[in-house]
Chain A
Amino acid sequence: MAMLTNRRKEVAVAASLVAPFVLIFALVFLYPTIRLVQLSFTDSPLIGAGNWIGLDNFKRLLSDRLFLTSLKNNGYFILLTVIPTTALALGIALMVTRLRGKLQALALAIFFLPYILPVPVVTHIWTWMLDFQFGVLQPVITFFTGKPVAVFKNPYWVMPAIAAVTIWWTNGFNVLLFIAGLRNIPRDYYEAAQLDGATRWQLFARVTWPLLWPVTALVLTLQLILQLKLFDQVYLLSSGGPFNSSYVLLLMVYREAFQLNHGGYASAIALVLFVIIAALSVLQFQLLRVGGRR
Chain B
Amino acid sequence: MQFRKLLTATAIALMAIPAMAQENITWWDFLGGGDGVRMKALIARFNEEHPDIKITSTTLEWGTPYYTKVRTAVAVGQGPDVMTYHLSRLPLGLDEGVLDQVTDEDLKNAGVTKDSFFPASVKAASSDDGKLYAVPFDIHSLVLFYNKSYLEGSKFLDADGKLTGINNLQDFEEALAYAKEKGAAAPVSYATADDGGVYRVFYTLLRQQGGELISGKEVLAGDNLQKAAKSIEVMTNWATKGWQPEQAAYEASVALFTSGKSAFFLNGVWEVPTLVDTDKKGALGFKWGAVQIPNLMGTQTAWADSHAFAIPANNKMSPEKRKAVMTVIGWMEKNSLAWAEAGHIPAYMPVAESAEFKKMEPNATYSALANTASYDPRSPIAGVASPTYDAAINIISPAIHGYAEPMAAAEQVKQDLQDKLR
Contacts and interface: CB of A to CB of B under 8 A. Distances in A.
A250 to B, nearest CB: 15
Contacts of B385: 259
Nearest to A66: B419
B75 A65 contact: no
A243 B395 CA distance: 5
B387 A243 contact: no
Given A153-B401, A154-B403, A47 B75 contact: yes
Contacts of B107: none
Given A64-B419, A65-B415, A261 B71 contact: yes
Interface in B63-94: 64, 68, 71-72, 75-76, 92
Nearest to A239: B393
B209 interface: no
Instruction: Classify chain B: how many residues form its interface, as a range.
Output: 20 to 34
Interface string B367-396: 000000000000011000111001001110
A48 interface: yes
Contacts of A155: 398, 403
A252 to B, nearest CB: 11
Given A65-B415, A66-B419, A45 B68 contact: no
Interface string A153-168: 1110000000000000
B416 A241 contact: no
A242 B386 CA distance: 16
A155 to B, nearest CB: 6
Nearest to B96: A261
Interface string A208-246: 000000000000000000000000000000011111100
B75 A48 contact: yes
Given A46-B71, A47-B75, A258-B68, A242 B397 contact: yes
A44 B212 CA distance: 30
A285 interface: no
Given A132-B246, A239-B393, A261 B92 contact: yes
A259 B394 contact: no
A150 B75 contact: no
A260 B381 contact: yes
B193 A240 contact: no
B96 A45 contact: yes
A6 interface: no
A240 B394 contact: yes
B257 to A, nearest CB: 15
Contact of B398 (A133, A241, A258, A260): A241
B407 to A, nearest CB: 14
A243 B412 contact: yes
Contact of B193 (A47, A65, A153): A153
A66 B393 contact: no
Contact of A260 (B195, B387, B393): B387
A132 B398 CA distance: 14
Contacts of B75: 47-48
Nearest to B404: A243
A241 B390 CA distance: 9
A153 B420 CA distance: 23
Contacts of A239: 195, 390, 393-394
24 contacts: A65-B419, A66-B416, A66-B419, A132-B247, A133-B252, A150-B247, A150-B401, A153-B397, A155-B398, A155-B403, A239-B390, A240-B390, A241-B398, A242-B394, A242-B395, A242-B398, A243-B394, A243-B403, A244-B394, A244-B416, A258-B64, A259-B385, A260-B420, A261-B71
Interface of A: 45-48, 60, 64-66, 132-133, 150, 153-155, 239-244, 255, 258-261
Q: What 6 pairs between A and B have smallest CB-CB spacing?
A: A242-B398, A241-B394, A47-B75, A150-B247, A132-B247, A258-B68
Given A241-B393, A259-B386, 8 more contacts: A65-B419, A132-B247, A150-B193, A239-B195, A242-B395, A243-B404, A260-B381, A261-B92
